[in-house]
Amino acid sequence: MIEILRVTAAFGIKGAVRVFLYTDNINHYKKIYDRDGNEFRFKLLNQKGDTAVIKIDFVDDRNEAEKLKGMSFFVKKEDLPKLDENQFFICDLIGQKVSVIGEDINLKIVDVKNFGAGDLIEISEVGSKDSFFIPFTKENFPETDGPIVIAAEIYRNFKN
């Protein structure tokens, strides 16, 4: 399952919750699931950027909504929308091996973050807890279909 949203707070007195979205369009999905695979239906009340207010069925008051704070909800991978050419899901990048041209270094993608100035690929050497970030641009990552290869200069510039 793919994490699609995280509850950040209760909203109002009728059981709505404020959520952080990991998708551009929450309306693609009719059902969401908790970590245990329990199915929930919801209604989008308001969305602005990557935050929204939703009403989850069976959550009828603020006290119940407050219990959901910090909880993540998921969708099944097969429920994800079809992608256009040259599009991909971030979850498909995580765990991918990264090769450096001319170097014998084993790297992998740990995560993709966005702190406001664009997507950053978090990379670590296999077996290491240390990581570093490389801006996710076409110049730094010319290909994401198939093996991911970066230039040695890019690796050296961002590793240090």
Question: Which burial class, exposed, middle or buried, applies to 32 when counting CB atoms under 10 A from its CB (0-12, 13-18, 19+)?
Answer: buried
Concatenating the DSSP letter of every residue in 68-137 gives TTT-EEEE-GGGSPPPPTT---HHHHTT-EEEETT----EEEEEEEESSSSEEEEEEETT-S-EEEEE--
- pLDDT, one tens digit per residue, over 31-79 is 899 999 999 999 999 999 889 999 999 999 999 999 999 999 999 988 8
Q: Which amino acid is at 108?
A: K
Please state, as a whole number, how many other Cβ atoms lie within 10 Å of the Cβ of residue 52: 20
56 and 122 in a single domain? The answer is no
- Domain boundary residue, one of 79, 113, 140: 79
97, β-bridge pairs: 108
119 pLDDT above the threshold of 80 = yes
What's the CATH code of the domain at 125?
2.30.30.240
* Whether residues 100 and 122 fall in one domain: yes
Examine residue 85 and state whether it is found in any structural domain, yes or no.
no
Range of the domain at 70: 2-79
| Pairwise pLDDT comparison (85 vs 5), residue with the higher score | 5
Domain check: are 63 and 99 in the same one?
Answer: no
Q: 9 and 31: one domain?
A: yes
Task: Give the Cα separation of 101 and 106 in Å (integer).
Answer: 12
Question: pLDDT tens digits, residue range 12-31?
Answer: 999 999 999 988 888 888 88
* pTM for the predicted model, two decimal places: 0.68
Mark which of 79, 99, 118 sits at the end of a domain: 79
In a domain, 84, yes or no: no
Above 80 in pLDDT, residue 160? no
Total domain count, the chain = 2
Residue 113 has pLDDT above 90, yes or no: no
Do 13 and 75 lie in one domain? The reply is yes
